[in-house]
Amino acid sequence: MKHYLDLIKISAGQRRKENRMTRLCIVLAVFLVTVIFGMADMEMRAQRIQARKTDGSWHAAFQVEAEQGALLSARPEIRRAARYGTLNYHLKDGYLLQGTETGVCGFDLEFQEMIPDARVSEGTFPETDREAVVNENIRARLGTGVGDTVELTTPGGDTKQYLVTGIAENTALTAELDAFCIFLNVDGFLDLYGEEDSADQELLYYVEFRPFCRIQQAIDEISRQFALSPEQVRQNAKVLMLMFQSGDLYLMQLYLVAAVLAVLVVIAGVFMITASMNSQVAERTGFFGLLRCLGATRRQVIRFVRREALSLCRTAIPVGAASGVLVVWVLCGMLRLMSPGLFEGLPVFGVSWPGIAAGAVVGLITVLLAAGAPARRASRVSPLTAVSGNAGTVHAAKKTAGTRFFRIETALGIHHALGSRKNFFLVTGSFAFSIILFLAFSTAIDFMHHAITPLRPSAPDLYLLREDQTNEIPLGLAEELRGYPGVKRVFGRSHAEFPLEGEGQNVIVLSYDIQQFQWAEGALIEGSLQDAVDGKGVVSVYRDGNMSAPGSFVKILMGEQEQEVPVTGVLGDVPYNYGLDADTGQVTDLVICSEEMFQRLTGETGYAVLDVQLRRDATDAQVQEIRRAMEEACGSDVVYSDRRIRNQETRGASYSMSLFLYGFLAVIALIGFFNIINNIAMSVSARMREYGAMRAVGMSTAQVTRMVVSETMTCTVFGVLFGCMAGIPLNRLLFRWLVTSRWGDAWSVPGRELMVIVTVMAVSACLASAGPVKQVRKLPINLLTK
Amino acid sequence: MEILKVENLSKVYGTGEARVEALKKVSFSMEKGQFGAVVGASGSGKSTLLNCIGGLDEADGGKVFLSGRDLFAMGENERTVFRRRNIGFIFQAFHLIPELDVEQNMIFPLLLDGKKPDQERVEELLEVLGLKDRRRHLPGQLSGGQQQRAAIGRALITHPALVLADEPTGNLDSRSSQDVMDLLCRASRHYQQTVLMITHNRNLTASADRVFQVMDGRLKELGGGQNETLS
């Protein structure tokens, strides 16, 4: 031993048990921060992977002329630039491939680095203006392969022949629209324009900036240099947001919210560790008094407590960080499992260095901050406490326990909780903080519900639609498809529109099968669905205040004949937009009935839409088989759509964000739980001698239990009150920033979230009392008073 | 040579009806190498006197000079450093640091001062205290007498101007008590160490050069020098 601080090392070995709680608190704080930052990092990685897959990795695109384009590409901050242009984007302009409208994209080879959708999956990128890459749809439907020739007819009637050099995968959009698309190089693309002067103007320069470049500043400079209007500049908002490079005000607000939440997490950690260290210091008043007595200055005591706290970090930080990483692994594994295609780039055993660094740094800073108050408290311990024999006993009470309203043991419990004002605020403050944190984070869930629409259970992977909405898709096709390999469910809807009697308005009647009625159960506002399933009536759909109440009748004019159909229930929402005219805003009433009733009403047997849901392991070959069967049964008057890629994207975004946010909330609830347990255990252990004395003078174990429970409950009730007082306004503020400012929804008291966290707190309080009470019961009285 | 000088030392606890005058203008002085004993009934103010002289407690009036320095004229930090260099404490309950062995406990005040212990001095003290073969033992592994001897070693290690002992034999059997008293006497004689000891056992005052009695906050010298009670 060469220095007085060496005592820390020596005493750590002896005080392992006493240090356990503080160490656990540090582990928890580091774990919490590592998980939150690690999850945020992984979520960002997941989002980046997804964003790159769906939107590409480009940062900005500029509509400039060729000369300007050359200057743009030569700018030092630009890592790569590529030209891109498109023709017949809406598939209406008359560029035809064997009679089918075909989208034409022209771009430089470099463009593939920025947009994965532009990559050639088989073969090579066109080198000459007479070469082309065709998409998967063309290969599947026309049987075109590499080395074949395709002929494209232009709106002017010219035909151009291209040698197919490669095949490209379908994108979400081309799969959904069942669209043909060919890729040309820029020369080929410009050649298509012929003499049209504006060809250059149609080309956009997509650019990717170098790392660490201030992108918004660079975009502004480029816009100024080439005098570009805002319409001539595009930004990849999602990717820029994920790089913290977006200039969007709303995104700035998002960052602000993230910063507020990160600060809250750090404060929660400080609270936890401070409370734990304070208890430890309180227990060791005698020891610090002795140090002072032996001549240790206040500064030396402060240094001692700080160093001791830091020495605990040596094991606590790695353990906390390791457990945080483990949780992040589990979450990443879950993401990959839930959405394998989309998150295959996400490493299962990826280590989030920012997460670990944040955990370690925040843990260290937290410990230093948290150790500050106890250290000062320790330094203020009078040397007299060591010699007076009062060390180790509780502080002298200033007020008597209020025994007028409560029994003595309950009054003492409440008094213990409220006795030391500082300790009371620290303990209730830490409880309140869990609530504040929970309420603050829960606004992110509201944000998620608005930002990402989860995939509805009824969402089809493939669908077949009669464009004229006639019910000519045969019922037998559904039955036939059910037998195909890879098919999970097949369901259809029939469609009819009738004038309503006397009102000059129409009503749309849709048919549902049993499965669709089951999915609709959650949206039922009023009445009964079963009656509709049984064919006793229809359910109306609430739209813009229009609805027919259950018990009323819809009077339909069928030709000359009027038919009264009873309304059995009302649905709040349906996943379809039948009868909603987006252009005029006009709304047509919608009612839903069973398939049998639809046949009775209309006399038609057949569907207007047929939806197919596939098994997870369905292959492309199986999908092609299904498609062939559909075409055979329906001919070419139907629209076929493959929504698999789109569904996967929606599902992936929804999964990753849900997992991330609900994971956060679970961790916060866990903090609240541990916090209460830890605080009460410490409070009880600090008073163990007092409890022993009480037991010695005749207090029963049941009374001790009541005393501990009333202390716990007092802290919890006040913690909940303080938490609500601060948490609800914060919830309101964050809700306004995140949701109201964007979607206009009004804020309401987060009742459900409050219930969840208050229940967690109440359960924790019950469990928190149980452990120490057991401890008090187990110890013999003579041991307690020693 | 005068080491300790106490002038009109007063200490009051509480207010109103609860007001207690623990020390009433106590004055006395001690020469280098003197061994003083303070006796008195429980609650008479003995410990308060010791705590005020040791700078552990603030006085409400009066002055304490140690080696010519006014203890209460110093700031808190300065007083702490002065105390660890000039005053050695011996407590009834030993108050050794349980995690440190005998030798570590002894050198601890030096370490607080950032000094390197003089190994010869340590060996000598261990020899004098009879703890040479117990130097690596933790306090929990020692008898009460051995623990108190280790505490005496801790008090003497810094060559303090004054050793204050508060009932050093209060927790010990008669044989250990005698050992401790012998050691304190030896320290006083051999190292010319000024020692002021509180005891309620009048038999132990036999070895003291001067004996004081505290009664109702007033100090009276019973033997040795002249009566220095001021009131």
Q: Which residues contact B165 (CB under 8 A, 6 or more apart)?
A: B89, B90, B155, B184, B195, B196, B197, B198
Q: Which of B33, B4, B29 is nearest to B186 (CA)?
A: B33
pLDDT band at B163 (very low <50, low <70, confident <90, very high): very high
Minimal C-alpha gap between B40 and chain A (Å)? 17
Decide if A413 contacts A706 (C-beta within 8 A). Answer: yes
Q: Round the average pLDDT of chain B to a whole number and report it.
A: 86
Report how far apart the first and last C-alpha atoms of chain A are (Å, whole number). 31
- A602: tokens are 């209309």
CB-CB under 8 Å, A297 with B81: yes
Cβ of B81 under 8 Å from any chain A Cβ? yes
pLDDT of A697 reads 66
pLDDT band at A612 (very low <50, low <70, confident <90, very high): very high
pLDDT of A392 reads 41
pLDDT of A391 reads 43
Minimal C-alpha gap between B106 and chain A (Å)? 11
Cβ of A380 under 8 Å from any chain B Cβ? no
Decide if A457 contacts A432 (C-beta within 8 A). Answer: no
pLDDT band at A254 (very low <50, low <70, confident <90, very high): low
Residues 245-304 of A with CB under 8 A from B: 287, 290-300
pLDDT of B164 reads 92
Using a CB-CB cut-off of 8 Å, the residues of chain A touching B47 are 387-388
Calpha distance A284→A22 (Å, rounded): 14
Decide if pLDDT at A212 tops 50: yes
- B134: tokens are 């117990």
CB-CB under 8 Å, A294 with B109: yes
Using a CB-CB cut-off of 8 Å, the residues of chain B touching A296 are 80, 84, 112
pLDDT of B28 reads 93
- By Cβ distance, the residue of B51, B112, B166 closest to A296 is B112
pLDDT band at A633 (very low <50, low <70, confident <90, very high): confident
Decide if A10 contacts B100 (C-beta within 8 A). Answer: yes
Say if B18 falls within a structural domain: no
Element spanning A751, H or E: helix A751-778
Q: Which residues contact A318 (CB under 8 A, 6 or more apart)?
A: none
Cβ of A6 under 8 Å from any chain B Cβ? yes
Using a CB-CB cut-off of 8 Å, the residues of chain B touching A4 are 108, 111-112
Decide if pLDDT at A251 tops 80: no
Mean of pLDDT values over A2-22: 76
| Interface test with chain B among A294, A302, A307, A381, by most B beta carbons within 10 Å | A294
The DSSP result for A168-218, as a single string, is: EPPPHHHHHHT-EEEEE-HHHHHHHHTT-TTHHHH-EEEEEEPTT--HHHH
Q: How much of chain A, in percent, has pLDDT values that exceed 70?
A: 89
The DSSP result for B126-171, as a single string, is: HHHHT-GGGTT--GGGS-HHHHHHHHHHHHHTT--SEEEEESTTTT
Calpha distance A524→A527 (Å, rounded): 8
Cβ of B206 under 8 Å from any chain A Cβ? no
| A651-660 burial: b if 16+ Cβ within 10 Å, else e | bbbbbbbbbb
CA geometry: angle at B123 spanning B118 and B128, to 5°? Answer: 125
CB-CB under 8 Å, B84 with A386: no
Decide if pLDDT at A164 tops 90: yes
- By Cβ distance, the residue of B56, B89, B112 closest to A4 is B112
Q: Which residues contact B66 (CB under 8 A, 6 or more apart)?
A: B3, B4, B53, B82, B86, B87, B161, B162
CA geometry: angle at A395 spanning A394 and A397, to 5°? Answer: 115
CB-CB under 8 Å, A387 with B47: yes
CB-CB under 8 Å, A382 with B80: no
More confident residue, A497 or A342: A497
pLDDT tens-digit series, residues A268-316: 777 777 777 776 776 677 778 888 888 888 888 888 888 888 888 888 8
A3-12, A14-23, A125-134: range with lowest mean pLDDT: A14-23
Minimal C-alpha gap between B48 and chain A (Å)? 10
Structural domain including B164 reads: 32-58+87-227
Minimal C-alpha gap between A397 and chain B (Å)? 15
State which of A125-134, A272-281, A671-680 shows the largest mean pLDDT. A125-134
pLDDT of A166 reads 93
Calpha distance A159→A169 (Å, rounded): 25
Using a CB-CB cut-off of 8 Å, the residues of chain A touching B112 are 4, 291, 294-296, 300
Distance of alpha carbon B115 from the chain centroid = 22
ipTM tops 0.90: no
Decide if pLDDT at A163 tops 90: yes
Cβ of B57 under 8 Å from any chain A Cβ? yes
Say if B11 falls within a structural domain: no
Using a CB-CB cut-off of 8 Å, the residues of chain A touching B107 are 1
Say if B173 falls within a structural domain: yes
Identify the sign of the CA torsion A156, A160, A164, A165. negative
Decide if A614 contacts A644 (C-beta within 8 A). Answer: yes
pLDDT band at A248 (very low <50, low <70, confident <90, very high): low
Using a CB-CB cut-off of 8 Å, the residues of chain A touching B98 are 14
Using a CB-CB cut-off of 8 Å, the residues of chain B touching A3 are 111, 114
Decide if pLDDT at A165 tops 90: yes
Q: Round the average pLDDT of chain A to a whole number and report it.
A: 81
Cβ of A383 under 8 Å from any chain B Cβ? yes
Say if B75 falls within a structural domain: no
Calpha distance A315→A338 (Å, rounded): 35
Say if B13 falls within a structural domain: no
Cβ of A9 under 8 Å from any chain B Cβ? no
Strand partners, A339: none
Q: What is the chain B residue with the closest CA to A287?
A: B97
Cβ of A7 under 8 Å from any chain B Cβ? yes
Read off the CATH number of the domain in which B163 is found: 3.40.50.300
CA-only gyration radius of chain A, Å? 35
Using a CB-CB cut-off of 8 Å, the residues of chain A touching B116 are 2
pLDDT of A784 reads 42
C-beta atoms surrounding A447 within 10 Å: 21
Q: What is the chain B residue with the closest CA to A301?
A: B112
pLDDT of A198 reads 57
Q: Quickly tell me which residue has 């959009």 as its tokens.
A: A173
- By Cβ distance, the residue of A3, A297, A384 closest to B51 is A384
CB-CB under 8 Å, B95 with A290: yes
pLDDT band at A489 (very low <50, low <70, confident <90, very high): very high
C-beta atoms surrounding B106 within 10 Å: 27
Cβ of B104 under 8 Å from any chain A Cβ? yes
Q: What is the chain A residue with the closest CA to B81?
A: A295
pLDDT of A582 reads 67
Q: Which of A363, A313, A278, A264 is nearest to A34 (CA)?
A: A363
- By Cβ distance, the residue of B89, B113, B116 closest to A293 is B89
Cβ of A13 under 8 Å from any chain B Cβ? yes
Using a CB-CB cut-off of 8 Å, the residues of chain B touching A15 are 99
pLDDT of A386 reads 62
Say if B156 falls within a structural domain: yes
pLDDT tens-digit series, residues A575-591: 887 777 767 777 788 88
Say if B174 falls within a structural domain: yes
Size of interface A-B (CB pairs under 8 A): 76
Kindly provide the residue ranges of all beta strands, DSSP E only, lying in B17-174, ordered along the sequence: 20-31, 35-40, 61-66, 69-70, 87-90, 162-166
Calpha distance B230→A20 (Å, rounded): 55
Decide if pLDDT at B218 tops 70: yes
Calpha distance B38→B45 (Å, rounded): 10
pLDDT tens-digit series, residues A400-443: 555 567 777 788 888 888 877 777 887 888 788 888 888 888 88
pLDDT of A632 reads 83
Residue B207 per-residue DSSP state: G
What is the SS3 assignment for A91? coil
Residue A725 per-residue DSSP state: H
State which of A214-223, A296-305, B11-20 shows the largest mean pLDDT. A214-223
Q: How much of chain A, in percent, has pLDDT values that exceed 90?
A: 12
CB-CB under 8 Å, A11 with B113: no
Mean of pLDDT values over A687-694: 71
- By Cβ distance, the residue of B83, B100, B114 closest to A10 is B100
CB-CB under 8 Å, B80 with A384: no
Decide if pLDDT at A41 tops 90: no
Using a CB-CB cut-off of 8 Å, the residues of chain A touching B84 are 294-296
pLDDT of A545 reads 61
What's the domain count of chain B? 1
Decide if pLDDT at A345 tops 70: no
Q: What is the chain A residue with the closest CA to B83?
A: A295
CB-CB under 8 Å, B93 with A295: no
Integer CA distances (angstroms), B139 to A10, A584, A753, in order: 14, 91, 55
Say if B93 falls within a structural domain: yes
pTM above 0.90, yes or no: no
Minimal C-alpha gap between B203 and chain A (Å)? 24
CB-CB under 8 Å, B108 with A382: no
Cβ of B113 under 8 Å from any chain A Cβ? yes
Using a CB-CB cut-off of 8 Å, the residues of chain A touching B105 are none
pLDDT tens-digit series, residues A736-754: 887 887 777 788 888 888 8
Distance of alpha carbon A741 from the chain centroid = 19
CB-CB under 8 Å, A3 with B108: no
